[in-house]
Amino acid sequence: MNKYTNSFHERANAMADSLILEHYSLSELNFETVSHYRERFARVKPGHPWNGLETKEFLYKIGAWGKLRDSSKEGLTLAGLLMFSEERIITEVLPQYFLEYREHADANGTGWTKRFTSQDGTWSGNVYDFYFRVLAELERHVWSDEGRIVLGEALVNALVHADYGEEGGIAVEKEDGAFRFANPGRFRIPVEAAMAGQMSNLRNPNVFKMFLLIDVCKRAGSGLKRMHDMQEQALVQPVDISQQTNPDRTIVTLCPLLFPAEAGATVETETDESLQQPEQEWTEQEDRGIKESFVNNEPNSVNISTNSVINEENSLNNTIDSINNEANSVKKSVDSVNKKGKSVNNKLDSMNNRSDSGNNEMSVHDMGEGEEDEKMDERLWKMAELARRKKRLAPAVMEEMIVRLCCERPLRLKELATLLERTPDGLRNNYLGKLLEEGKIRLKYPDQPNHPRQAYIGTGKS
């Protein structure tokens, strides 16, 4: 063991991840990771004064950089190394450090359909990037928003409570409908107390702080309690926590509601029969990239040839079935889009505020007055109907829907929230940030994140 490893173990009961590594400078960091973190921090806290700081000072504020008060020495903290460096450098200080994600091919656990580790050399291998890589994999399998939240809590719980100086590493494993999160080290308080939400004795408080600052987790001690409180909505079985010795290890097992194709069952949802589709079909669409079956091909699609809005016989502009026809008008109280008492034009009133239209590329008001405005609003409303009808929607389907909506015209956060009937925070944290990073949407005012008329624009990138 080198001197840093010895120091780590000597301070095992103290705030070990605040240990300053004097000879480890900013050059040991993966700056793509740092940049990603700062971008997310700026999205979550757009008006925060730390956004304007130089890199070193920003890292000092979040606990990734340290200064020795009794000398002029400074350097990365152990937390900063774990979060933002690379596997080869991290293992110089912590030889036992190892991260792994794997999905077993069958119930017997023989072979993997997917696997990556911190050692494979295809990515940084640090804790921060591991969190987002694994989270993306977990969300592919889970049916409900609650299930995704619970799995995210379990993942960050393993990362902030792990004893990175001990053997075994962190392993996240999917097998036969269950997800296991294993980390070196045992709970520092009784499991019952942790499940009740009592203040947790964090092993890595600075790692926790860095995740907390970007809204990945909530206050200390809340993770297990949230899992426990949400288990009835999100899990097939209660949360299972086991602790082992020699070596010390904690294993949290969750069995969330999976997509029916994986769970072998059909999940019933409250939807109109005219829009209801077997969830197996949605999973198959996702596997095909969705594009072949989404909006443009479905029996109720606004663009399918036999029922298209531009089809002469069944067109929405057809004199018999037109949206403007008195008998079947969307403004009619029965069998109407407005039957819940919220007209499309009223519902989207804030979306079409004329004070914004002058600065809105492709705004509905740029298209002309009256009828053209209504047609665009109707089109957006129709495109987003599935999300309003189905509160549990596959993440990939929701992402595709958001991109398509934003390709129609720039949409502000509150507009998307209205169309999709989702909370602004939920959209921003679960979808928009990811789509921005992937380049599938862009900001209307990229140099002014806090612009009062900020909107999201679809790039057409698949």
Instruction: Work out the pLDDT band at 46, boundaries 50, 70, 90.
Output: very high
Q: What integer best gives the mean pLDDT of the chain?
A: 74
Q: What is the pLDDT of residues 362-377, one digit of tens each?
A: 333 343 444 555 556 8
Instruction: Work out the pLDDT band at 219, boundaries 50, 70, 90.
Output: low
Higher pLDDT, 294 or 77: 77
The per-residue DSSP string of 206-261 comes to: HHHHHHHHTTSS-STT-HHHHHHHHHHHHBSS--EEEEETTTTEEEEEE-B-B-HH
CA distances from 387 to 200, 241, 321, 415, 443 (A): 37, 35, 25, 14, 23
Q: In angstroms, how far is CA 188 from the centroid of its own chain?
A: 29
Instruction: Work out the pLDDT band at 239, boundaries 50, 70, 90.
Output: confident
Q: Find the mean pLDDT for residues 374-398.
A: 81
pLDDT at 232 (0 to 100): 59
Of the ranges 217-226, 236-245, 441-450, the best mean pLDDT one:
441-450
Q: What is the chain's percent helix, strand, coil content, to nearest 5?
A: 40, 10, 45
pLDDT at 321 (0 to 100): 40
Q: How far apart are CA 357 and CA 354, in angstroms?
A: 5
Question: Is the pTM of the predicted complex or chain greater than 0.75?
Answer: no
Q: How far apart are CA 301 and CA 316, in angstroms?
A: 12
| 286 pLDDT above the threshold of 80 | no
**What percent of the chain stands above pLDDT 90?**
42
Q: How far apart are CA 165 and CA 87, in angstroms?
A: 14
**Contacts for 448 with CB less than 8 Å, ≥ 6 apart:** 454
Give the burial class of 354: count Cβ atoms within 10 A of its Cβ; 0-12 exposed, 13-18 middle, 19 or more buried: exposed
pLDDT at 426 (0 to 100): 87
Other beta carbons within 10 Å of 248: 16
pLDDT at 199 (0 to 100): 56
| Contact assessment for residue 262 and residue 177, using Cβ atoms and an 8 Å cutoff | yes
Instruction: Name the DSSP class of 430.
Output: I
Where helices occur in 371-423 by DSSP H, the ranges are 371-383, 385-389, 395-408, 413-420
**Which among 433, 417, 415 is positioned nearest to 42, based on CA atoms?**
433
Query: What is the amino acid identity at position 337?
Result: V
Other beta carbons within 10 Å of 31: 12
pLDDT at 123 (0 to 100): 96
